[in-house]
Copies of this chain bind each other. A is one copy, B any other.
Amino acid sequence: MRILVVNVNTTVSITDAIARQARSVASPGTEIVGLTPRFGAESVEGNFESYLAAVAVMERVLSYDQPFDAVIQAGYGEHGREGLQELLNVPVVDITEAAASVAMLLGHRYSVVTTLDRTVPLIEDRLKLAGLDSRCASVRASGLAVLELEEDPERAIESVVREAEQAVTVDKAEVICLGCGGMVGLEERIQARTGVPVVDGVTAAVALAESLVRLKLSTSKVRTYATPRQKQILGWPRALLG
């Protein structure tokens, strides 16, 4: 099977990291294709950038001209999964929701550790909308912007570990979800320091996407995510004109 893993920002190095993360757990026979949006922000940290990303991700997927079996939206707390579900007939998995769903199989409560403090409300809202918030102990910010993570991974790791420890000792989380598509290779360090399972959104999403494909399950088309009706759409990137 082929799974498209779509970055929400335009930074190709992050797309590559996300794709590598995805491949590290993909089953033999699963091809991971990393896609970078053709427009939008270099990093997505707020609603404005997230709405751009939602559209850019849809555009990028629709302009991919090979068959594929599933799509993963690889941005933590971002808008857009519902739009993809309307446009496609294959499963769509959002990494925020994937991480939470998996975490809830492993412990009584989970916490999310993310980067900028201002992204915390976006993640909280996504979990709330998804109905996955009642066992979320907290969403904590490590205090580094997405691009800084690329530049100084050691400092990033230490910041995340600190927040994770607080989540476990203070908030009583029993599982940690890493809250950013580009935070690669942290799992073992955090697990070693805190003793709790660490769920990465990208790898969780790959596992769930593969599961859905194997189970021959895809998005319901009867109501909310029905294919959009044919209609006039002005002045848009052509792919979205159907």
Binding site for B on A (CB under 8 A): 10, 25, 27, 38-43, 45-52, 54-55, 58, 79-80, 82-83, 85-87, 91, 93, 97, 101-102, 104-109, 117-118, 120-122, 125, 128-135, 145, 168, 172, 174-175, 194-197, 199, 203-204, 207-208, 210-212, 214-215, 217-226, 228-229, 231-236, 240
Contact = CB atoms under 8 A, between A and B. Distances in A.
A203 B215 contact: yes
A197 B211 contact: no
Nearest to A199: B217
Contacts of A107: 219-220, 222-225
A5 B128 CA distance: 29
A236 B93 CA distance: 26
Nearest to A82: B47
A174 to B, nearest CB: 4
B224 A118 contact: yes
A233 B40 CA distance: 5
Residue from A55, A97, A204 whose CB has the most chain B CB atoms within 10 Å: A55
A137 to B, nearest CB: 11
Contacts of A207: 211-212, 214-215
Contact of A58 (B38, B42, B51, B224): B51
B83 A51 contact: yes
B55 A51 contact: yes
Contacts of A40: 233-236
Given A132-B131, A219-B106, A48 B195 contact: no
